[in-house]
A and B are shown apart, each in its own frame.
Chain A
Amino acid sequence: MFEARLVQGSLLKKVLESIKDLVTDANFDCSNNGFALQAMDSSHVSLVALLLRSDGFEHYRCDRNMTMGMNLSNMSKMLKCAGNEDIITMKADDTGDVVTFMFESPDQDKISDFELKLMDIDSEHLGIPDTEYAATVKMPSSEFMRICRDLSSIGDTVTISVSKDGVKFSTTGDIGQANITCRQNTSVDKEEQTIIELQEPVTLTFALRYLNSFTKATPLAPTVQLQMSKELPVVVQYLIADMGYVRYYLAPKIED
């Protein structure tokens, strides 16, 4: 038996919005640790890893480890039927052919339940090695979203260069080129800060299409963290307060 109750149900709605453009079908892993997912996009260029820790739920029960395969577009259709103020409870029994989403309005005067059919999904669970990254950038998530969106109107790829002076985002396209530099800035409110931790300068190029998909997680966190090392996938992490994270990995473009 699996049961997880989330008073701030809108969080689950936002989580789903942050992954459904990247992945069509995915296995959610339920354990005593929490509600987790690891899935790659169909072209194996990016990966999303989600963790909602069990202690972040108001009630959490997982009698044995379960994998629940869901079509994320269908899951999203159901979660969109929950109000933003609703409490959401997920339930599944051990036979595991359906998951039930129960929505309770804040006044408890409306209770809905939606039953989603589960599916068998072959998934490749990748081992992601622990890495010391050469550069870590923390910046406002809205700023990162704005930069990715703006640059994608000029070019298809972005070159991200981190040095002690700042982080530079550059693109080139048919109409011209663009460079945006964010300098380290620790003088403002914590959520507005840009912080650079640097072992050594690093420059990598990525497809903007994927980074734009990642920024669907912006409503989940005021800050985003980028971690980069030479010729390694970038890690783009959004921390979900008191619950866990949505973390994306994107393989770089590599010169022949």
Chain B
Amino acid sequence: GAEQASLLSFFKGP
């Protein structure tokens, strides 16, 4: 099945 991606893997953290 498809896995839910995290936003943290797309956007730069602090």
- A residues at B contact (CB < 8 Å): 40, 44-47, 124-129, 157, 205, 207, 232-233, 249, 251-256
Out of B1, B6, B13, B14, which one reaches A45, CB within 8 Å?
Answer: B6
**A/B interface sample: 10 pairs, CB < 8 A:** A124-B14, A126-B7, A128-B11, A157-B2, A232-B10, A249-B7, A249-B11, A253-B2, A253-B3, A254-B5
On chain A, the residues within 8 Å of B7 by CB distance are 40, 44-47, 126, 233, 249, 251
- B residues at A contact (CB < 8 Å): 1-14
CA distance A125 to B11 in the complex (A): 10
On chain B, the residues within 8 Å of A127 by CB distance are 11-13
Smallest CB gap from A256: residue in B: B3
Distance in angstroms from B11 CB to nearest chain A CB is: 4
On chain A, the residues within 8 Å of B9 by CB distance are 251
On chain A, the residues within 8 Å of B4 by CB distance are 45, 207, 251, 253
On chain A, the residues within 8 Å of B5 by CB distance are 45, 233, 251-254
CA distance A45 to B2 in the complex (A): 14
CA distance A144 to B7 in the complex (A): 23
Out of A47, A207, A252, A255, which one reaches B11, CB within 8 Å?
Answer: A47
Smallest CB gap from A159: residue in B: B2
On chain A, the residues within 8 Å of B2 by CB distance are 157, 205, 253-256
Smallest CB gap from B2: residue in A: A253
Given A46-B7, A126-B11, A233-B7, 19 extra CB contacts under 8 A: A45-B4, A45-B5, A47-B7, A47-B11, A124-B13, A124-B14, A125-B14, A126-B8, A127-B12, A129-B11, A251-B7, A251-B10, A253-B2, A253-B4, A254-B3, A254-B5, A255-B2, A255-B3, A256-B3
On chain B, the residues within 8 Å of A253 by CB distance are 2-5
CA distance A46 to B14 in the complex (A): 17
On chain A, the residues within 8 Å of B6 by CB distance are 44-45, 251
Distance in angstroms from B4 CB to nearest chain A CB is: 6
| 10 closest cross-chain pairs (CB), A and B | A253-B2, A127-B12, A126-B11, A251-B5, A251-B7, A44-B6, A254-B5, A255-B2, A128-B11, A124-B14
